Amino acid sequence: MKQLIRNVYCVGRNYRLHAEELGNSVPSEPMIFMKPSHAIVPMDGSTIALPGGRGEVHYEAELVLRIARDYRPGMAVDELVDVMAFGIDFTLRDVQNKLKDKGHPWTAAKAFLNSAPLTPYTVFPGAADTAAEDFELRKNGEVVQRGNIGNMIFPLQEIVDYIAENYGLGEGDLIFTGTPEGVGPVATGDQLELLYGGRALGSCTVQLGSSSSAR
């Protein structure tokens, strides 16, 4: 998966039950934040170092789109996206709650190194057909999140149009499309595995510790 990664966009609160489980209102337009490309790390079975001593680190399993070409108005998602993956939008939840209270940006809670593990890419079946199968996150073999793209508040077409019109969208950009309900904390040694349609796409083991060390 050593393809160029440019901008990494993320959609917040894109599933109603997830917005509600965190006590957040459901947004009236897509809520976009970003991670640096340095946050991306392959979900290839290896151990991933995440910040320790900064409160709870939550997993958020998400469908990730890879943009194949520069956006032009009127383009359909199916023309724009060639492959997809699944990823985890790791979040320092306690840090995020403090930032929210202060009205500060989310960078410290969302954009840290290794905060975006990504499975290998798989064929994008088209926006309509992505909902034909559920995706799942398993923690130590137990299903902790199950989602379906059909339950998104803002569908894929609306997300790509919104991002392109406001921030720009081109080849090599990634979009983390939001997480369903069931988010929760990880501890050192936890094994996380992402599946789509029952098919395992990637896994990693978590190690909480220094916030600056690489894998």
Contacting positions for Zn ion (CB under 5 A): 60, 89, 179
Write the burial class of residue 25 (CB in 10 Å: 0-12 exposed, 13-18 middle, 19+ buried): exposed
Q: Is 114 or 179 the residue whose CB approaches Zn ion more closely?
A: 179
Q: Least distance from C-beta 209 to Zn ion, angstroms?
A: 23
Q: Is 60 or 161 the residue whose CB approaches Zn ion more closely?
A: 60
Q: Least distance from C-beta 70 to Zn ion, angstroms?
A: 25
Q: Is 130 or 179 the residue whose CB approaches Zn ion more closely?
A: 179
Residue 53: both structure tokens together: 């001593």
Residue 46: both structure tokens together: 């290896």
CA distances from 160 to 10, 28, 72, 119, 170 (A): 11, 16, 11, 21, 10
Q: Least distance from C-beta 24 to Zn ion, angstroms?
A: 12
Q: Is 88 or 164 the residue whose CB approaches Zn ion more closely?
A: 88
Q: Least distance from C-beta 181 to Zn ion, angstroms?
A: 12
Write the burial class of residue 48 (CB in 10 Å: 0-12 exposed, 13-18 middle, 19+ buried): buried
